[in-house]
Structure 1
Amino acid sequence: MLVLIAESKTMAPCAESIRPLGYEAHAPAFASRADSIMEAAGKMSVDELAGKVKISVPMARKLHQMAYDFPHKESGCKAIEAFTGVVFKSFGYKSLSESEQNTADGCVGIISSLYGWLRPDDVVKPYRLDFTTPMAPDGETLANYWRESVTGEIAKRLAETNDSDVLNLLPGDAAKCIDWKKIEQKAKVWKAEFYEVRPGGELRTPNSNKLKMLRGELLRHIVTDKLISPEDLKGIVSDNFMPEPSEIPGKLIFVTA
């Protein structure tokens, strides 16, 4: 089973020293294209960057510095450790055993606005973009820019591993990086949906932070409980959510208080 998660806006400094051979062995699939995007960002003024990416001037200043530092590959960190958002904190990669980390490295794919497709152990540099940013070479959004390439990389990954299932834990903007009709020709696509039980029994989608936390916890269960099929997720025992029957093919439902 291939599990897809998305980048987070917050990242670690990624200041760890990386030897050239180490970087070459763990370079992202589309590293050169990421280099080009960040090179273009570095050529903009801070004010231009703030307007283009729709971020504050102080944040644009940080992004400008990231673009300046980006070509220097002697520092960086593993993608799964670089992102520090709620999903990644809830997943808790660093607290896994070595065996569990190896499992995660083999079953997780990270969708990135800058890099497109990332394996967990790919070496990355810090950045601050998002999927709706029109920073692609032809001016289109990064989601549109990566769609064909990311779809192809997922198909390649499925062929290499003979996986027949893809679990979509992506938010809507990251999901636009993928041509799902093409992926459905290669594997069965599953989507996990979480609902809160409100007073009176009404179900509603949790707020964004809680939803991210639950996705991260679900991923941790997949890795630590050695779940290899989406069907296995229907038997998860968790303190924070419980599986519910679903009559919709490919839809996994979890209910939380």
Structure 2
Amino acid sequence: MLILIAESKTMTPCDGMINECDYMSHRPALESDAAEIMSNLRSLSAESLCGSVKLSLPMVRKLQQMIYEFPNKASGSKAMNAFTGVVFKAFSYQTLGEASRVRTNGRVRIISSLYGWLKPDDIIKSYRFDFTTPLAPDGKTFSSYWRDSVTKLLLKEIEKQDCHDVLNLLPGDAARCIDWKVINSWVKVWKADFKEVHPGAVMRTPNAGRLKTLRGRLLRQIINEDIMSPEQLVSIIGDGYIGPDSIDVSGNILFHSIADN
């Protein structure tokens, strides 16, 4: 079961020293496209960038530094260590055992606004975009720009791994980087859904932060317990959630969580 997650907006500086051999062996599949994007942005002023990105002027100036630093491949970070958002904190890759890290590198893929498609151990630079940013070539949003390339790479990975199931843990903006009609013709796509149980048996969707935490915890459990199929998610007990009594052909897997008081 291949698992898809999205980047986070927050990242480390990605300033660790990288030797050329390591970089070449962990180079993102679409790095040349990312390099072209960053090169095209070098000529834009901070004020021009402010018109396209949802950032304050001080943050845009930091983004400019990232743009200028991008060609320097002597520094960087592995993708799974670079992102520091809620999902990644809950997953806590750094605290996994060696076997779980190997499973992560094999079965998890990260959808990125700048890089498109990332393996967990790909070496990347820091950036600050989102999928709706219209700074891709021809003024496209990143989700629109990456759609064909990411879909092809996902199909290639499905074929390589002889995969029959894909677990979609992506938010909506990241999910638009993929042509799901094409993917659904090759494999069964499953989507994890979480509902909080409130007093009176009222069911509600968790707030955004809680939802991200639950996704990260679920990913950690899947990797640590080497869960290979959706059927193995039935009735599992996780950190703050429980699995469904059964799964159906709809592709939605509903997990129940007790709301925090």
- TM-score, with normalisation over the residues of structure 2? 0.96
- TM-score, with normalisation over the residues of structure 1? 0.98
One-letter identity of the residue aligned with 2:135: M
Distance 1:226 1:107 in 2: 10
Residues 1:51 and 2:51 aligned together: yes
One-letter identity of the residue aligned with 1:252: I
Residues 1:116 and 2:101 aligned together: no
Distance 1:239 1:75 in 2: 36
Other-structure match for 2:34:
34
The answer for unaligned runs of 5 or more in structure 2 is none
TM-fit CA distance, 1:247: 4.4
Conservation of the 8 A alpha-carbon contact between 1:104 and 1:223: yes
TM-fit CA distance, 1:235: 3.4
Query: Mean alpha-carbon deviation: is it higher for 210-219 or for 199-208?
Result: 199-208
The answer for unaligned runs of 5 or more in structure 1 is none
Any runs of at least 4 consecutive aligned residues in structure 1 with deviations exceeding 6 A, and if so which? none
Conservation of the 8 A alpha-carbon contact between 2:233 and 2:244: no
Q: Count matched residues.
A: 257
TM-fit CA distance, 1:248: 5.1
Query: What's the secondary structure of 2:194's corresponding residue?
Result: strand
Query: What's the secondary structure of 1:253's corresponding residue?
Result: strand
Query: What's the secondary structure of 2:201's corresponding residue?
Result: coil
Query: What's the secondary structure of 1:242's corresponding residue?
Result: coil
One-letter identity of the residue aligned with 1:111: I
Other-structure match for 1:177:
177
Distance 2:12 2:239 in 1: 29
Query: What's the secondary structure of 2:134's corresponding residue?
Result: coil
Matches within 5 A, 1:95-244: 95-244=95-244
TM-fit CA distance, 1:40: 1.9
TM-fit CA distance, 1:99: 1.1
Other-structure match for 1:83:
83
Query: Mean alpha-carbon deviation: is it higher for 147-156 or for 14-23?
Result: 14-23
Query: What's the secondary structure of 1:11's corresponding residue?
Result: coil
Other-structure match for 2:251:
250
Deviations 1:174-220, CA, capped at 9 Å, x for gaps: 00000001111111100000001122111111000000000000000
Distance 2:149 2:53 in 1: 22
Deviations 1:18-60, CA, capped at 9 Å, x for gaps: 1111111110001011011111222110111111112110110
One-letter identity of the residue aligned with 1:114: L
Root-mean-square deviation over aligned CA pairs: 1.0
Distance 1:32 1:247 in 2: 41
TM-fit CA distance, 1:16: 1.0
